[in-house]
Structure 1
Amino acid sequence: MAKVTISLDAELVVEVMVLAGVGNPQDAVELVVRDHIQRGHRTEARVAARDEVLREVDGKPRDIEG
């Protein structure tokens, strides 16, 4: 996998290390980024499932009240 080097504020990285419980800055930031990506995928999956249910409801014939 290709690597990218970036500069971050030291206080930000230290806070990430504390919250992640990791002593290595690289590992801490990588964990946070991976968690963010996974959370996004879970959200997308929930939204897709909800949209599918709504499509099924909209696709059913409606009873006409008269």
Structure 2
Amino acid sequence: MLQLDFSGKTAIVTGGLQGIGLAISDTFLRAGARVVIGDIGCAPGQQRRGSNSLEMARTH
């Protein structure tokens, strides 16, 4: 399997809380990236299970 190293990089993923976007977010996290997710389904205070490298913010 291909090893990816995104340490020190920031990935921006739209639609990252479900489906393909979620899988992409998880892949970037496992590869060491800081992940910024944009999604219309993000409730205030919502956090992903087991993702201590993930920050959530809500904007309008």
Structure 2 length normalisation: TM-score?
A: 0.24
Query: Which protein has the bigger helix share?
Result: 1
Structure 1 length normalisation: TM-score?
A: 0.22
- The higher-RCO structure (CA 8 Å, 6+ apart) is 2
